[in-house]
Amino acid sequence: MYLMDIGREITIFILLLYLIYETKEIYLQLLFFIILLLHIYKLINSFNAYYKITKKHKFLFLFMFIILLYSLKLLIYNKNINIFIIVFILFRIIISKLVNYKEIEPLYNNNLNIIYSILLLLLYINYDSYKYKNIFIMSIINHMLLYYNI
């Protein structure tokens, strides 16, 4: 499993809840709900490790959390998705440089990140009129970074 900080997970929860609420397509709502449950499980299952990492870099993570939340606010209220995507990916890279991913054994085979990326690409193509479809691109980039341990 790949460690993040607690603030990033909270931001992901808020984003997924927002997408569930805003999305009219039932299949996408179900997908976002399943992803939300997986993130909740991941946080509960590894809370002590998350807490340890977050506490170790608490001021940096608090700063990043505030900026990430602000960029999420821009997405929700101003529909400016690009700023959120850039901040989300940039902070993902910063976190990966702070945290040793080998600290916790992966919950799944790293090759699944390639499969997830392909599935996300198919979602991006199939839901071309979905107003938040760039979230799929953000997730593809995130899973490819995970695959390459960046």
Number of domains observed in the structure of the chain: 1
Q: Does 20 fall in a domain?
A: yes
The three state secondary structure string of the chain is: CCCCCHHHHHHHHHHHHHHHHHCCCHHHHHHHHHHHHHHHHHHHHCHHHHHHHHHHCHHHHHHHHHHHHHHHHHHHHHCCHHHHHHHHHHHHHHHHHHCCHHHCCCCCCCCHHHHHHHHHHHHHHHCCCCCCCHHHHHHHHHHHHHHCCC
Is 0.85 surpassed by the pTM of this model?
yes
Q: Does 23 fall in a domain?
A: yes
Q: Does 25 fall in a domain?
A: yes
Q: Does 37 fall in a domain?
A: yes
Mean pLDDT of 103-113: 66
Which domain, by its residues, includes 140? 6-147
Q: Does 39 fall in a domain?
A: yes
Q: Does 1 fall in a domain?
A: no
The residue among 122 and 9 whose pLDDT is bigger is 122
Q: Does 62 fall in a domain?
A: yes
What confidence score (pLDDT) does residue 1 get?
Answer: 39
Using one digit for the tens of pLDDT, what is the confidence trace for 19-61?
A: 999 999 999 999 999 999 998 998 898 888 778 878 888 888 8
Mean pLDDT of 59-82: 93
Q: Does 98 fall in a domain?
A: yes
